[in-house]
């Protein structure tokens, strides 16, 4: 089984390849892999580089939801813990958006601690991506809508890692002054 730098590097490589051609929803000029790199870096910094599996799961956290990747493939290549963490971060895409959002809020407090960290890092990255210097009306609305929901999800994930909690609060404060 892969460990350490090899585990993280192969996770990054697979994620980059699988998300090829995808853009960030809030910033269509940015490749999707920028979001994955940001989430992985946030997790790595918050845990002082001590949890390679968590960082690998950060790179891979959207592969089940947004690409052809399967849980079996992740288990084989990266192990049960990484695959399980990615699954914890995967919405049931057969449900309508509002219901998926509601489930994320309801399920957040029940998630294992490491999955909560990925959830918060994901929301930090997605809030930051919605902050613009001169937002249009539509961008303002999208930020307000995203923020109201993200705060509810993060409320159920707090208390595992103070640094990550603080980064989310900082992103919310920056968003507030950008609206
Ligand atoms: Zn994500």
Catalytic annotation present for 92: no
Is residue 176 within 8 A of residue 127, CB to CB? The reply is no
Report how far residue 100's alpha carbon sits from residue 4's, in angstroms, rounded to the nearest whole number.
33
Ordered DSSP codes for 11-45: HHHHHHHHTTT-B-SS-TTSBHHHHHHHHHHHHHH
Using one digit for the tens of pLDDT, what is the confidence trace for 86-111? Answer: 999 999 999 999 999 999 999 999 99
Is residue 59 within 8 A of residue 8, CB to CB? The reply is yes
124 C-alpha vs ligand 1 centroid, how far in Å? Answer: 10
User: In CATH, which of 3.55.50.30, 1.10.260.40, 1.10.3210.10, 2.30.30.700 is domain 4-178?
Assistant: 1.10.3210.10
Catalytic annotation present for 73: no
Q: Counting every residue, how long is the chain?
A: 179
Using one digit for the tens of pLDDT, what is the confidence trace for 27-75? Answer: 999 999 999 999 999 999 999 999 999 999 999 999 999 999 999 999 9
62 C-alpha vs ligand 1 centroid, how far in Å? Answer: 6
Determine the longest span between alpha carbons in the chain, in angstroms.
49
Please determine, for residue 178, whether its predicted confidence score (pLDDT) is greater than 90: no
**What's the mean pLDDT when you consider all of the chain?**
97
Domain ranges of the chain: 4-178
């Amino acid at each position: 089984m892969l460990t350490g730098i090899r585990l993280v590097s192969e996770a990054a490589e697979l994620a980059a390849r699988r998300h090829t051609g995808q853009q960030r929803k809030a910033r269509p000029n940015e490749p999707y892999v920028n979001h994955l790199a940001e989430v992985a870096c946030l997790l790595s910094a918050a845990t002082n580089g001590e949890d390679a599996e968590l960082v690998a799961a950060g790179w891979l956290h959207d592969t089940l939801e947004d690409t052809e990747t399967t849980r079996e493939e992740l288990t084989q290549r990266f192990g049960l813990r990484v695959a399980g963490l990615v699954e914890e971060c995967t919405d049931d895409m057969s449900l309508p958006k509002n219901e998926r959002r509601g489930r994320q809020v309801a399920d957040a407090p029940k998630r294992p601690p490491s999955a909560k960290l990925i959830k918060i890092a994901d929301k930090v990255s997605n809030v930051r991506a919605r902050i613009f210097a001169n937002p249009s009306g539509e961008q303002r609305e999208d930020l307000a809508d995203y923020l109201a929901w993200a705060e509810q999800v993060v409320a159920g994930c707090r208390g595992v890692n103070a640094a990550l909690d603080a980064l989310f609060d900082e992103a919310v404060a920056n968003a507030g002054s950008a609206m």
